[in-house]
Amino acid sequence: MKNMAKFAVAAVVASLATETLAEEWNVSVWGKRRAFTEHVEKLAELVSAKTNGEFTMNVSYGGLSKNRENLDGISIGAFEMAQFCAGYHRDKNRAITVLELPFLGVETLEQEVAVSHAVYDHPAVKKEMEQWNARIVMTSPMPQYNLVGTGEPRDELADFEGMRVRATGGLGAAFKAVGGTPTSVTATEAYQAMESGVVDTVAFAQHAHLSFGTINQADWWTANLNPGTVNCPVVVNIDAYEGLSDAHREAFDSSIDEAIDHYLANYGDLLAKWDQILAEKNVQKVMIADSVIEEFKAAAAVPARDAWIADMTAQGLPAQELYDLVQSTLAASK
């Protein structure tokens, strides 16, 4: 009987130890699994593997929050990790909107990772994120956005006059500077906006045109306009992160670079297939003349930069310092 009692106590202790070790996080993203979320999925996979299933992440595609409300959900601890895009609520994440300025000069996804993570590490960014009880852990690097549209291609600057375009943040401001009418409908609303005629064109990276179906509405796609991109960090709730055991935090931290590498490789595969996808969907690939792109830059890039720096400086942010950090990091990565 004594031995049985000892075994029973040992079993209870082992059970309690297992419960103590177990960690389960909920992760809020949106849409469906796609190139844009592959690093989140890979991070969950790696963390589970490194902890023998003791630390798991449940990735939810819209079941936990609306995409514009993910940062709010993080702030109240409704879930432990989330993805959001700066352009969805510029007033909540002002400092990182420097990364959405048009024509920054970013040419590759690797450069996008470098400049984003340099900005995320800036004290002003960390302080602003702390207001939402959030810590940025990695970016969601995307290629430069390009337009899809219906009807005749818009390949001259004059064609942008009156164009109703789905474009958020700095991209929206860029198109407005050349006469466009930007609207910031969410990614999940873009297809319907295009189908119903609310917008004439949609600015997305390749994966989003594919995932959200706008490529299926398109007659043409601009291959080289490259006005900029949006910045979409992945954040964790600070309390949840700091509450991890040392072993679980090490598993999490050590998996971030691996997750980004997986994302880059996966996105590279998509880019390699893009011309084939255009041909299959009978979408015309439009090359914008260099002279037109230079006109666009002159009208949008410098005014947008100067206005952003003036506005953010007036709000107490080190705007010039943040912009210079982007440029110096970009120069070092080339």
pLDDT band at 194 (very low <50, low <70, confident <90, very high): very high
Domain assignment of residue 16, yes or no: no
Do 54 and 161 belong together in one domain?
Answer: no
Structure pTM? 0.85
pLDDT band at 18 (very low <50, low <70, confident <90, very high): very low
Instruction: Using CB atoms within 10 Å of the CB of residue 183, give its burial: 0 to 12 exposed, 13 to 18 middle, 19+ buried.
Output: middle
Residue 207 has pLDDT above 60, yes or no: yes
- Specify the 3-state DSSP secondary structure of 320: helix
pLDDT in tens, 229-288: 999 999 999 999 999 999 999 999 999 999 999 999 999 999 899 999 999 999 999 999
Do 83 and 189 belong together in one domain?
Answer: no
The arithmetic mean of pLDDT across residues 108-129, rounded, is 97
Do 178 and 209 belong together in one domain?
Answer: yes
The arithmetic mean of pLDDT across residues 124-146, rounded, is 97
Domain assignment of residue 169, yes or no: yes
Domain assignment of residue 11, yes or no: no
Plot region of 7 (φ>0 → left; ψ -120 to 50 → alpha; else → beta): alpha
**Token code pair at residue 81:** 């990790």
Domain assignment of residue 311, yes or no: yes
Domain assignment of residue 170, yes or no: yes
Do 129 and 171 belong together in one domain?
Answer: no
The arithmetic mean of pLDDT across residues 159-175, rounded, is 92
Do 219 and 242 belong together in one domain?
Answer: no
Q: To the nearest whole number, what is the mean pLDDT of the chain?
A: 92
Domain assignment of residue 251, yes or no: yes
- Measured torsion, CA atoms of residues 104, 108, 110, 115, in degrees rounded to the nearest 10: 0
Report the distance separating Cα 208 and Cα 87, nearest Å. Answer: 15
Tell me how many domains the chain contains: 2
Write down the pLDDT at residue 17: 44
Do 236 and 212 belong together in one domain?
Answer: no
Write down the pLDDT at residue 72: 98
Write down the pLDDT at residue 164: 96
Do 55 and 157 belong together in one domain?
Answer: no
Domain assignment of residue 2, yes or no: no
pLDDT in tens, 283-297: 999 999 999 999 999
Q: Compare 214 and 107 and report the one with higher pLDDT.
A: 214
Instruction: Using CB atoms within 10 Å of the CB of residue 315, give its burial: 0 to 12 exposed, 13 to 18 middle, 19+ buried.
Output: exposed
The enclosing domain of 115 has a CATH number of 3.40.190.170
Write down the pLDDT at residue 13: 44
Do 76 and 127 belong together in one domain?
Answer: yes
Domain assignment of residue 19, yes or no: no
What are the CA-CA distances from residue 275 to residues 204, 231, 278, 280, 283 (Å)?
16, 25, 5, 9, 9
Report the distance separating Cα 326 and Cα 126, nearest Å. Answer: 16
Label residues 191-214 b or e (16+ Cβ within 10 Å = b). Answer: bebbeeeebbbbbbbbbbbbbbeb
Domain extent at residue 179: 146-228+280-333
Contact 207, 34 (CB under 8 A): yes
CA 5 to chain CA centroid, Å, is: 55
Residue 214 has pLDDT above 80, yes or no: yes
Do 212 and 285 belong together in one domain?
Answer: yes
Which residue, 208, 179, 206, 175, is CA-closest to 191? Answer: 208
Do 173 and 122 belong together in one domain?
Answer: no
Do 253 and 152 belong together in one domain?
Answer: no
Do 86 and 127 belong together in one domain?
Answer: yes
